[in-house]
Amino acid sequence: MAMRGGGATMLSWYLQVAAVSLLAMATGLEAQLRVGFYDNSCPAAEIIVQQEVSKAVSANPGLAAGLVRLHFHDCFVRGCDASVLIDSTKVNQAEKDAGPNTSLRGFEVVDRIKARVEQACFGVVSCADILAFAARDSVALTGGNAYQVPAGRRDGSVSRSSDTGGNLPPPTASVSQLTQMFAAKGLSQREMVALSGAHTIGASHCSSFSSRLYRAGTTAGGGQDPTMDPAYVAQLAQQCPQSGGAAGGGALVPMDAVTPNAFDEGFFKGVMNNRGLLSSDQALLGDKNTAVQVVAYANDASTFQSDFAAAMVKMGAVGVLTGSSGKVRANCRVA
């Protein structure tokens, strides 16, 4: 009888452990990102995002690249927690005011989306998920794959400009530096090259690449970056004149000169032809491993599109806050 009692006690213990384990598994699953996260709690969420992004991009095609870049710069600093949207205060300089982020745009689009979403479902949809949805819709509206976005991110409460240091790749980064920075976020070199393809839309300030056009004591055509097509150098020198101060400084030049507003393989074709605008872009052709991928994407648009979509989903899960972590900020600009 003692054994039976012990067996019954042991069985009861096993059942309790099993129940706790199942509960933990369920809680863990709920805490993870998933497609259709707002299907019940806010079914209009993704529709609202798509509508507002569509209006914004129709009025200003450059905002598509801006919204993709916002998502990227958010995820690479403190994870995808919408910390890049928080405004600075008298006692804190936020991420958006750090040097690498001062050219970010699209904040007003996010504000409009958030205002509508809050009216539809108060306190439900995070700013971090809005950024992920908006990036996806920007890609789709410009001709890329409309991939599904797993959601369930929560918003962070900390945003410091100092945190951007060493996390955001500079326009002069080498392939080795890029590979290391992406690896630090759990992204492979292959995913780094695919994500670099986002440069197929949008533009860059002259100041980000003027050092490739002019060297001290030279004029355009003398002393420029030898990896750049000379005809392209001459073209860029007209767009970014040295007499304009810091080689045209604030002027904007399309990253893909052929199809600047189309999400296609044009970026990789440009790099193949030594017409990568940033030195970090052109560097992809100078490394034997990444060069193979550049050529493959330039000749196979569908592979690039599918690889890019998969890499965006993976990047969108970097350092996320889920479940009981973080919160849903009512105003994306305020922590």
Q: Is 205 a catalytic residue?
A: no
The answer on whether 199 is annotated among ligand-binding residues is yes
Annotated ligand binding at 265? The verdict is: no
Task: Please check if 89 is assigned to a binding site.
Answer: no
Non-local (6+) Cβ contacts of 40 within 8 A are none
User: What angle is formed at CA 65 by the lines to CA 161 and CA 197, rounded to 5 degrees?
Assistant: 100
CA distance 318 to 79: 5
Q: Find out whether 95 is annotated in a ligand binding site.
A: yes
Is 74 known to sit in a ligand binding site?
Answer: yes
Residue 88 marked as a ligand binder? no
Distance between CA atoms of 138 and 57, rounded to whole angstroms? 8
204 three-class SS: strand
Would the annotation count 256 as a binding residue? yes
259 is in an annotated binding site: yes
User: Binding residue per annotation — 39?
Assistant: no
46 marked among binding-site residues: no
| From 69, 71, 73, 78, active-site residue | 73
Contact 106, 60 (CB under 8 A): no
CB 156 within 8 A of CB 323: no
In terms of Cβ atoms closer than 10 Å to its own Cβ (0-12, 13-18, 19+), residue 103 is middle
Question: Alpha helices of the chain — where are they, by DSSP H?
Answer: 2-31, 45-59, 62-75, 107-120, 127-141, 175-183, 189-196, 230-239, 266-272, 279-286, 288-299, 301-315
Q: Which residues are annotated as a binding site for Ca(2+)?
A: 74, 77, 79, 81, 83, 95, 200, 256, 259, 264
Q: Which residues are annotated as a binding site?
A: 74, 77, 79, 81, 83, 95, 169, 199-200, 256, 259, 264
Q: Which residues are annotated as a binding site for substrate?
A: 169
Q: Which residues are annotated as a binding site for heme b?
A: 199
- Residues annotated as part of the active site: 73
